[in-house]
């Protein structure tokens, strides 16, 4: 073979078969790279959407936890004012104490009417029943509480006792100190009424809706989890009315969409069971120790999800005692006092262990 023939063969390049093999290999590599990239983008989108769904439910539950942990009622640390017993016994005890000491100082336990009788040193409980000012105050208070939907009574210190509200399983309205003013000098209180319930779905236009198309797996007619609150006038005697457009003090916010079920149940401290009605619990409309929230909703991908959360208050689980209602007996005060000798609150068993002079337990007589 001559040198010229070798040079011509070297200039021919790749054959057709070699080119086809190279194109095939390159195609497989390109398909693999595109598939991996597409799967990665889909995984990122699904993960981001899942995180958004989780963030939405966690935000809703955190909002409820913030409100419920700061639920407020004087009966968590005091007792209901008893005009027929507390005032009389306080007058007798304080009157005898002041008559013996001769100091004439006012007692911190009784009300103004009890202190007035205590300073006289008479120790007679009949004066309170015959006191026209006390009788007029009691009658006016009874009339006011009959028409008040938010408050049911007053404590022995004269503080109003809120009436918690749960007429249905998916409605819970309570008094809380969780409100924080967003703007300085705004005429709002830290105390306010909050209602959690199910509301109508959000109606969106085709142009203003989200970028993603609605998932066909989500059923129609689902509700929303809505939080209503009012802090401008916490002593308003009327309940929160979400349907009243004229009530500008009530503000609402949608916490979760596509809600299928919302149920509240409340812990019964005596029977150790969950109750669906506050009226089934002793003093349930004024003292709540725990609440259970059961929620079912559909996420943005059409998957039905459920959550079951339990929340409890920051208040200690003790039975507040009324030293006046127990007759002022030293045995009852020593045994049934929630605060021990060192000032530390005891448990419910410690409270129920104390007995009064007549043999009854301090918790039985002083339990609000």
Is 50 exceeded by the pLDDT of residue 207?
Answer: yes
pLDDT at 323: 55
Distance of CA 284 to the CA centre of its chain: 14
The pLDDT tens digits for 210-231 are: 555 556 678 888 999 999 998 8
Q: How far apart are CA 130 and CA 217, in angstroms?
A: 71
Q: How far apart are CA 59 and CA 30, in angstroms?
A: 43
Radius of gyration of the chain (CA): 35
Is 90 exceeded by the pLDDT of residue 344?
Answer: no
Share of the chain above pLDDT 90, in %: 33
pTM recorded for the entire structure: 0.66
Which string of DSSP letters, residue by residue, matches 233-246? -TT-SSPP-TT-TT
The pLDDT tens digits for 225-279 are: 999 998 888 888 888 887 765 567 788 899 999 999 999 999 998 899 999 999 9
Q: Which CB contacts under 8 angstroms, 24+ apart, belong to 293-296?
A: 293/61, 293/64, 293/262, 293/263, 293/264, 294/261, 294/262, 294/263, 294/265, 295/57, 295/225, 295/256, 295/259, 295/261, 295/262, 295/263, 296/259, 296/260, 296/261
pLDDT at 139: 80
Instruction: Determine contact, residues 335/355, Cβ cutoff 8 Å.
Output: yes
SS3 state at 269: coil
The pLDDT tens digits for 136-169 are: 877 888 788 878 889 988 888 888 899 999 999 9
Q: Which residue has the higher pLDDT, 355 or 183?
A: 183
- Paired residues of 160 in beta bridges: 154
Instruction: Determine contact, residues 90/327, Cβ cutoff 8 Å.
Output: no
Share of the chain above pLDDT 70, in %: 65
pLDDT at 320: 58
pLDDT at 232: 85
């Amino acid at each position: 073979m001559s040198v010229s023939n070798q040079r011509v063969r070297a200039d021919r390049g790749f054959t057709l078969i070699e080119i086809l093999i190279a194109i095939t290999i390159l195609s497989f590599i390109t398909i693999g790279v595109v598939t991996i990239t597409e799967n990665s983008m889909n995984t990122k989108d699904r993960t981001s959407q899942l995180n958004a769904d989780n963030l939405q439910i966690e935000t809703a539950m955190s909002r409820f936890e913030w409100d419920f942990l700061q639920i407020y009622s004087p009966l968590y640390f005091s007792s209901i004012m008893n005009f027929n017993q507390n005032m009389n016994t306080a007058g007798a005890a304080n009157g005898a104490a002041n008559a013996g000491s001769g100091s004439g100082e006012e007692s911190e336990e009784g009300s103004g009417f009890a202190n007035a009788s205590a300073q006289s040193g008479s120790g007679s409980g009949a004066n309170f029943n015959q006191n026209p000012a006390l009788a007029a105050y009691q009658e006016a208070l009874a009339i006011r509480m009959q028409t008040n939907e938010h408050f049911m009574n007053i404590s022995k210190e004269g503080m109003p006792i809120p009436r918690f509200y749960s007429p249905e399983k998916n409605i819970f309205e309570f008094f809380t100190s969780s409100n924080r003013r967003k703007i300085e000098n705004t005429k709002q209180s830290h105390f306010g009424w909050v209602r959690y319930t199910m509301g109508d779905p959000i109606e969106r236009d085709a142009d203003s809706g989200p970028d993603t198309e609605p998932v066909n797996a989500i059923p129609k007619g689902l509700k929303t989890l809505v939080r209503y609150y009012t802090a401008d006038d916490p002593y308003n005697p009327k309940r929160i009315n979400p349907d009243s457009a004229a009530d500008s003090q009530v503000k609402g916010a949608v916490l979760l969409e596509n809600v299928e079920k919302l149920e509240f149940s409340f812990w019964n401290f005596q029977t150790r069971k969950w109750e669906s009605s506050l009226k089934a619990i002793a003093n349930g409309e004024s003292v709540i120790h725990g609440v259970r929230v059961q929620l079912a909703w559909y996420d943005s991908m059409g998957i039905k999800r459920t959550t079951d959360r339990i929340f409890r208050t920051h208040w200690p689980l003790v039975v507040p005692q009324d030293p006046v209602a127990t007759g002022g007996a030293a045995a009852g005060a020593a045994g049934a006092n929630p605060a021990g000798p060192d000032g530390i609150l005891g448990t419910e068993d410690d409270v129920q262990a104390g007995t009064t002079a007549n043999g009854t337990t301090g918790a039985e007589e002083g339990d609000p």
